[in-house]
Structure 1
């Protein structure tokens, strides 16, 4: 687990957190002023899926320059954002990996919204363009943070978790299906984010919150793919609810063994999340529908590996892991 140092710095000043060779964070003092977001120094977004398009849209609406990094050329630069049956078209600058690689562009602010299983490959592709002191805001499901820190040991990594729900209807259209909040483990970039459009807050216990988010993902995402349904439909499925309870009990046991705080029942948190994101399709459901690899290894798979290390049995999480693996294997058949 990545360890962050959080202090009550000024909103626009923050420490650069470096990763030493042993993988632990070290504070590089004195504090460095966060570079302003300008046309020449925009937010680059790596990961043009639902969450990447959602954040690109809101950053643009907040008047912050954005460049969306895409794998392939798209038919236009406008993203259609829909929320509460209201749609608007937002023009966002885009650049393909093929255009970025031979360029001399330097990335100083990078929002990473790629799927966990694609993160290291995607970051490796653009690593030559990432400034040594760049700020990386990591906003994704699963536990890929340690792998990112090993790849980019000098950059400032800021972990974020979100309960906003979003899905794409096509590559240029995104639906903000569930309104939640985004928590950050560092105050320094909050003024560089669309805080008037999204609920964005500082959290001084981000590691624990990240585990709580992992727990909810473990309990929901795989089952929506297995039952092929929206989040809220799990609430109407008695078998699914029974499985959610088993998953939550196993997750809680692992969290307790790790010494993590569980202030509120994981099962109750999961039911609340299902309610507020009832209309959303989970990212794992979307991946399975599109016959793409999923984040299962970084969600239930990560939970199972930690449980094995702690000698805790997690048969229901293993069952979900095996079922999603079987779905993935069926693509090639």
Structure 2
């Protein structure tokens, strides 16, 4: 790599821990930004993670944990220069506000989550010389009580979001791309992330809410009785995409949805995992986003609207 900058990863989510374990296995510097709300973290400031790779091989990893208290008690601690923020969509803005005092003035921030990002709002949280990136990934991982399991290989796409990121030199961009490729690769760099986000949104708007409602793994969505619902949801997504000026064709995306269902048939969607663990879901950044777009164009999406209400009701029942 051109530049061995330590990478900080926020939280203990599946994708974040997957990236951390992949990097540590290659002896690359990585640390986790965590709230010390667990007894082992309060006592040691370390997090132990069991990682199972795609081949079923397991390894144990221990990570240094940093948070605001570390900077309070150790004033000489270097400010964070490169950080990945793979948190839920609803947690991004509070997370950025919390992190800002501990970021270097030229920090690089890489945000990654399901659903459509609030890119303008994210930029408002940054200083002028801080670079903002968005990483869209289809890597699949399952969080357990003791660690994380890599359950499916996917593609990741990285895009510069603000002028500072776009103005970085080719060598700076390449160094970041190489590091992220080792963590969540393969990663490609794109000048326009919107087409990628809409394609992922089309898949997430189908797979996530249906699996959450039916409490099933992805592969069960191939059942013939669910085909009409999948078709109706996707047609509504394509209708909104067209109104937004995006070329999202129904036939090709329906094929892509079923390809993902087959490729990830043993996986649990992130929304199902959230429901099972009593956590808030990202339904507002996925289906909710579609409905907000539809309202601007005076479109109605009855199937997506019904699904949103059902998932919200289910989530409330779990809380």
TM range (shorter): 0.7 to 0.9
The 1-side partners of 2:177 and 2:21 are apart by: 17
User: 1:159 touches 1:185 (CA, 8 Å); kept in 2?
Assistant: yes
1:66 to 15, 30, 43: 30
Relative to structure 1, the CA distance from residue 153 to residue 261 in structure 2 (aligned partners, 3 Å threshold; closer, same or farther) is farther
Matched residue, 2:139: 164
Deviation larger for 253-262 or 221-230:
253-262
The 1-side partners of 2:259 and 2:140 are apart by: 13
Matched, 1:83 2:57: no
User: 1:44 touches 1:67 (CA, 8 Å); kept in 2?
Assistant: yes
The 2-side partners of 1:299 and 1:101 are apart by: 36
Deviation larger for 87-96 or 284-293:
87-96
Matched, 1:114 2:87: yes
Q: What is the DSSP-based 3-state SS (H/G/I as helix, E as strand, rest coil) of the residue aligned with 2:28?
A: coil
Matched, 1:320 2:294: no
User: 2:110 touches 2:133 (CA, 8 Å); kept in 1?
Assistant: yes
The 2-side partners of 1:55 and 1:74 are apart by: 24
Q: Given the two structures, how large is their TM-score scaled by the length of structure 1?
A: 0.81
Report 1:172-251 matches (<5 A): 172-186=146-160, 187-188=173-174, 189-195=176-182, 198-236=185-223, 238-251=224-237
The 1-side partners of 2:253 and 2:88 are apart by: 24
CA deviation vs aligned residue, 1:102-143 (integer Å, no higher than 9, x gap): 244411101010011112122222221012221111121122
Pairwise CA RMSD:
2.2
Matched, 1:149 2:123: yes
Matched residue, 1:259: 245
Relative to structure 1, the CA distance from residue 328 to residue 196 in structure 2 (aligned partners, 3 Å threshold; closer, same or farther) is closer
1:269 to 250, 256, 259: 256
User: 1:56 touches 1:92 (CA, 8 Å); kept in 2?
Assistant: no
Deviation of 1:195 (Å): 3.5
Relative to structure 1, the CA distance from residue 195 to residue 85 in structure 2 (aligned partners, 3 Å threshold; closer, same or farther) is closer
Matched residue, 2:14: 50
Paired residue total: 294
User: 1:50 touches 1:167 (CA, 8 Å); kept in 2?
Assistant: yes
Report 1:83-102 matches (<5 A): 83-95=53-65, 97=67, 99-100=69-70, 102=72
Q: Given the two structures, how large is their TM-score scaled by the length of structure 2?
A: 0.85
User: 1:68 touches 1:93 (CA, 8 Å); kept in 2?
Assistant: yes
CA deviation vs aligned residue, 1:24-81 (integer Å, no higher than 9, x gap): xxxxxxxxxxxx334xxx1111131101100111122233211111223464633222
Deviation larger for 226-235 or 118-127:
118-127
The 2-side partners of 1:329 and 1:196 are apart by: 35
Deviation of 1:265 (Å): 2.1
User: 1:81 touches 1:173 (CA, 8 Å); kept in 2?
Assistant: yes
* Deviating 4+ runs (over 6 angstroms): none
In structure 1, the gaps of 5 or more residues are: 1-10, 13-35
Q: What is the DSSP-based 3-state SS (H/G/I as helix, E as strand, rest coil) of the residue aligned with 2:272?
A: helix
User: 1:162 touches 1:183 (CA, 8 Å); kept in 2?
Assistant: yes
The 1-side partners of 2:39 and 2:194 are apart by: 36
Higher strand share: 1
Matched residue, 2:4: 37
Deviation of 1:197 (Å): 7.0
User: 2:113 touches 2:136 (CA, 8 Å); kept in 1?
Assistant: yes
